[in-house]
Amino acid sequence: MLLYTGKVDVDSKDKYSRTPLSYAVSIGCDSVVELLLDTGKVEIDSRDNYGRTPLSQAISRGYTSIVWLLLEQQKAKINS
């Protein structure tokens, strides 16, 4: 519900430079990843302090459905 208020920064970062998208990916929450992507406002290749992108996290954890969600955006840099 908060996403639809327009008052939420969907790319906010914590002290480790992790975004809501990277947290959702790290726990394998497809539905939240999809909601965040649907806003069109997330930086899909945002790196955390360890250099991990949401795509690299999804691949390393074996979250195939999230990998496809990220690749469907056609904004993820697959070579990053």
> What pLDDT is recorded for position 15?
96
> What pLDDT is recorded for position 80?
66
pLDDT: is 68 or 4 the higher one? 68
> What pLDDT is recorded for position 7?
83
DSSP H helical ranges for the chain: 20-26, 30-38, 54-61, 64-72
> What pLDDT is recorded for position 67?
95
Has residue 19 got a pLDDT over 90?
yes
User: What fold, for 2-72?
Assistant: 1.25.40
